Amino acid sequence: MPKVLITGTSSGFGLITAVELARQGWTVIATMRDLAKRGQLDRALQSAGLTANVTIAQLDVTDPQSMDHILADLDLEKRGLDAVVHNAGVAVGGAFEDLDEEGPRRVMDVNYFGVLALTKRLLPIFRAQRHGRIVIISSESAFAGQPGNSPYCASKWAVEGWAESLAYEVEHFGIEIILIEPGAYPTNIWESSPRILPKDSAYLPLMRHLEVTVEAYVAKVARDPADVGRVVAKALAARRPRFRYAVGSTAKFLHFTRGKLPSTAVRKLLGRFLRLDRVRW
């Protein structure tokens, strides 16, 4: 059976993807930073009768020792690995001026530098076996800026630029890179992410407006997050996978407009969509 390592599987897309790939016959190494949060995944696997297909292990993508330990503990250099799904991610909401330095650094450490660090450790394995697929759960946030979400957008823009560049370097070794770009889906990342909103913030009217507008939009149009797990499985099963898979209506729209419209036009469209003209400063 093919083997895949997935990060951030305690909830959200990571959990869904672990269950979906196990269902489709993959041997899954489901990792998470805090094993105390494995309960939801355990229950999902037990309900589906898939516990035998999945190994749950601790992995913190911001901790070099944690990454080295899992490679050694699972003996991946000898036993091989067919794919990795980079899903671990964090966010912090708020106007940029209101954020301290630690919040954006944490977002970049997990969403960007964590992907680079783990990939660098896995590339020798993929090169030696002359195949491997690197799947990155990106976001529609990589297509256009979003008010109140600048660190997250920056991390996704960064990881996509890195992925485009790395693809040139590794294709000779049979290594393929795949970007999965979901739109609005109800996952735990937004519930668990801090929202910085000081009472004396100069941006308070805008942030209050976005809280209401964005939450109403997500509640209205968000689809089943299982869509993302199915797209990951489809990409991994494809003989010749695409480089990008936009998932969801808004992601597909932004994917279509990318490079076709000036940034100012996209910003005006997004401003109208978010009804920013109704903000009372």
Active-site choice (152, 185, 203, 245): 152
How far apart CA 223 and CA 182 sit, in angstroms, is 11
Are residues 101 and 50 in contact, defined by beta-carbon separation less than 8 angstroms? no
State both tokens at 107. 């977002």
Instruction: Check if 152 is active-site.
Output: yes
Nearest to 186 by CA among 223, 158, 133, 138: 223
Whose structure tokens read 């209506």? 249
Q: Up-side HSE of residue 56: CA atoms within 13 Å toward CB?
A: 25
H helix count then E strand count, the chain: 12, 7
CA distance 89 to 277: 31
Beta-sheet pairing, 175-182 with 244-247: parallel
Do 140 and 251 meet the contact criterion of CB atoms below 8 Å apart?
yes
Q: How far apart are CA 253 and CA 119, in angstroms?
A: 30
Q: Which residues belong to the active site?
A: 152
